[in-house]
Amino acid sequence: MDIRQLRAFVTIVDLGSLTRAAAQLHVAQPALSQRMTRLEAELDTALLLRSPQGVQPTEAGKALYRHARTVLRQIEEARQEVRRGAAGGATGTVAVGLPTTVAAMLAAPLLRRVRAEHPGIRLQVFESMSGYLEELLANGRLDLAVLYRDLETPSVAVEPLLREELFVMGALPGDARAGRRARADGRATCPVRALAGVPLVLPSGAQGLRRLVDRAFARAVAEPPTVVADLDSLPLLLAAALDGLACTILPWSALAALPPGVTLAHRRLTEPDLDRPVSLCRLATAPRTAAAAAVRDILLALTRDGLADGTWHGVRPTGTPAPAPPPRPRTRGGGP
């Protein structure tokens, strides 16, 4: 087993295709196939499953992929460090996974800070739904991932960052009849029970946000939400709410994805308060490189700064209770 075999194997898994991998590696496809056949023979196990749809790793292949990524990363870091010599500073490639809503707040500042403070670090940012990022982290394709979880496991180390409140976005059906306009500043609230029967567009059941919403409805409404479409796309969720097709439920940070000058009415969800933990995660078994540690420190600093200066709304530090909803107006007769 040599470095060329490992690099070829990782490229095949990343691209999911022998043809595309051969083109990227500038080798003939038959030669690449033979290289993989020799690697499988050396390890005495199948590493790749070939089908008309592409190439996928076997369970043994997934294990090799994780180790190969670590080896290749360490080799690259050694090369960069030797080249830079006495110049110092963290070097190497760091792969970071950011959920789509978090990326709207953190991706650009992260790129700027890493470029300014650690020019020797090559940053790879994967923006996707949280469920897919969990898979990438488990497969060793990410060094760091911001995920909606607060519990550690033997394989995943977790650093809590904050708690992110959830908002119902869009005009509710009763607003027009009551002559109300939903506020676009986020200070209004809405109990979950008020969403009974309201058409909603939500992420699919594979996503953590959907599971959280389903549990809240089970507690407050005793029936599932009225979902008219499952959309694993932040732009589509926002577009549906903007067009008045349905409301959606998202964190405040999702509003950063709106075009400049466009606003969307949003109310913080209460009774029960709907929020979720946001944590910085990494594989506990993976080596901690200087470059990954530097990016981790920047992510923590950006989160602290956003909490301190108020640029990131609808969030609070871990362990801080949710704000109390405004008191309900009392009737003229003094009733509730």
Percent helix, strand, coil in the chain, to 5, is: 45, 20, 35
The predicted-structure confidence for 71-97, as pLDDT tens digits, reads as follows 887 777 677 666 654 445 678 889 999
Q: How confident is the model over 289-305, as a mean pLDDT? A: 90
Domain extent, residue 195, equals: 164-275
pLDDT band at 123 (very low <50, low <70, confident <90, very high): very high
The pLDDT of residue 299 is above 90: yes
With a pLDDT cut of 90, the percent of the chain lying above it is 32
In a domain, residue 33? The reply is yes
Helix H segments across the chain? 3-15, 18-25, 29-43, 59-84, 100-117, 130-138, 173-177, 208-220, 234-242, 290-309
The count of other CB atoms within 10 Å of the CB of residue 142 is 25
Q: How confident is the model over 145-168, as a mean pLDDT? A: 90
265 and 169 fall within a common domain? yes
Count: domains in the chain: 2
pLDDT band at 325 (very low <50, low <70, confident <90, very high): very low
The pLDDT of residue 51 is above 90: no
- Scored b (16 or more CB within 10 A) or e, 82-119 reads eeeeeeeebbbbbbbbbbbbbbbbbbebbeebbeeebe
More confident residue, 116 or 326: 116
Q: Which residue has the tokens 């709106």?
A: 258
More confident residue, 313 or 151: 151
In a domain, residue 285? The reply is no
In a domain, residue 117? The reply is no
Residue 139: burial class (beta carbons within 10 Å; 0-12, 13-18, 19+): middle
Determine the 3-state secondary structure of 296 from DSSP.
Answer: helix
> Residue 79: which CATH number?
1.10.10.10
Q: How confident is the model over 14-18, as a mean pLDDT? A: 89
The pLDDT of residue 329 is above 60: no
Q: How confident is the model over 181-185, as a mean pLDDT? A: 54
Instruction: Output the pLDDT for position 315.
Output: 73
Q: Which residue has the tokens 């439920």?
A: 249
pLDDT band at 181 (very low <50, low <70, confident <90, very high): low
Q: How confident is the model over 15-37, as a mean pLDDT? A: 89
The pLDDT of residue 104 is above 90: no
Q: How confident is the model over 162-175, as a mean pLDDT? A: 86
In a domain, residue 262? The reply is yes
The pLDDT of residue 180 is above 60: no
Instruction: Please report, to the nearest 10 degrees, the dihedral formed by the alpha carbons of residues 211, 213, 219, 224 taken in order.
Output: -90
Residue type, 28: A
Residue 202: burial class (beta carbons within 10 Å; 0-12, 13-18, 19+): buried
Of the residues 86, 106, 124, which one is the last residue of a structural domain? 86
Of the residues 86, 108, 142, which one is the last residue of a structural domain? 86
> Residue 257: which CATH number?
3.40.190.10
Q: How confident is the model over 13-34, as a mean pLDDT? A: 89
Contact 313, 167 (CB under 8 A): no
Q: How confident is the model over 205-231, as a mean pLDDT? A: 89
pLDDT band at 146 (very low <50, low <70, confident <90, very high): very high
With a pLDDT cut of 70, the percent of the chain lying above it is 86
In a domain, residue 220? The reply is yes
In a domain, residue 115? The reply is no
Of the residues 252, 275, 298, which one is the last residue of a structural domain? 275
The pLDDT of residue 218 is above 80: yes
Instruction: Please report, to the nearest 10 degrees, the dihedral formed by the alpha carbons of residues 98, 99, 101, 107 taken in order.
Output: 10
In a domain, residue 292? The reply is no
137-141, 143-147, 298-302 — which is least confidently predicted?
Answer: 137-141
Q: How confident is the model over 52-68, as a mean pLDDT? A: 88
Residue 147 pairs in a beta bridge with 279
In a domain, residue 130? The reply is no
